[in-house]
Amino acid sequence: MAPTPQDEARAALAAAGQLPDSEIEIAAVALQFARIDAPEADWREAARLLSALAQDAVAAAAADRAADAGDPDRRRAVLAGVIHGRHGFAGDSLTYDDLANANLIRVVERRRGLPVALGILWLHAAEAAGWAAHGVDFPGHFLVALEGERGQALVDVFAGGTPLAAPELRALLKRFEGERAELRPGLLRPMDRRAVLLRLQNNIKLRRLRAGDVAGALTCTEDMLRLCPDHATLWREAGLMNRRLDRIGAALHCLDRSLELEPRGEAAERTRAVAEELRHRLN
């Protein structure tokens, strides 16, 4: 029997899971996640459009001397012009919780998406241009940081690539954490590529859980584990979802794997207690 598109995508995720983080092609992996959730969609056309986006970023970067010389804000302006100007991508504030906003194929088709999905486009374009960039795990709102010889530019990709200095960051933080929130160390921690991709998929997993689709959330988690096979928290979550679905053997396998990876700490103690309870149910 020939492999299905979903089989092919899962094999690609498993292959990416064996790579060092620096070798992961972030947009290509996001497309494989998208193929699983939208097997009927034209992922090759989405890949073609991503290639065109990268080519436009290369051309625009070469044409801007200040950006090429390392001015991070010029780099931000160049990529904003390509991604949001020429290609018309924007944040979807009207139907924010639509699962299509976290599926890169649908994002490319609709030119609308969540912050992290748009951020993947930014990271893809920046890499094509030869510019260092990374995701930023800001509370409640994914950001992108572009590096340059003169420091870095923080970008709100959901708002069309607008720059964020301290006053804007402070206002954004208060929006998500309340009026008493203030800027503090650690808010701008960089994310590696796997972490960005997991944040993208977390949007799907959490929306399925809120809708009561535990089986769908478990499938999403299992696919995330293909990319991150040594992620103890994901194994623990998969175990708890299997328990909710009364799949005791599968739950124990996942919980035991989590404990192998993370045998100590408060989370491990809770996991061990759940595993013992499940073993008693088998007796």
275, 248 Cβ separation under 8 angstroms:
no
The pLDDT of residue 183 is 84
Q: How many whole angstroms separate alpha carbon 134 and alpha carbon 21?
A: 12
Q: What's the mean pLDDT in 97-101?
A: 96
| Share of residues in the chain with pLDDT > 70 (%) | 100
Task: Kindly list the domain boundaries of the chain, sorted by start residue.
Answer: 5-191, 230-282
The pLDDT of residue 232 is 98
The pLDDT of residue 3 is 83
The pLDDT of residue 283 is 72
Q: What is the enclosing helix (H) or strand (E) of 42?
A: none
pTM for this one?
0.95
Cα-Cα end-to-end distance for the chain: 39
Tokens 């092609």, residue?
25
Convert the pLDDT of each residue in 171-190 to its tens digit: 989 988 888 888 888 889 99
pLDDT of 213 higher than 90: yes
135, 144 Cβ separation under 8 angstroms:
yes
Q: What's the mean pLDDT in 105-133?
A: 98
Q: How many whole angstroms separate alpha carbon 6 and alpha carbon 26?
A: 18
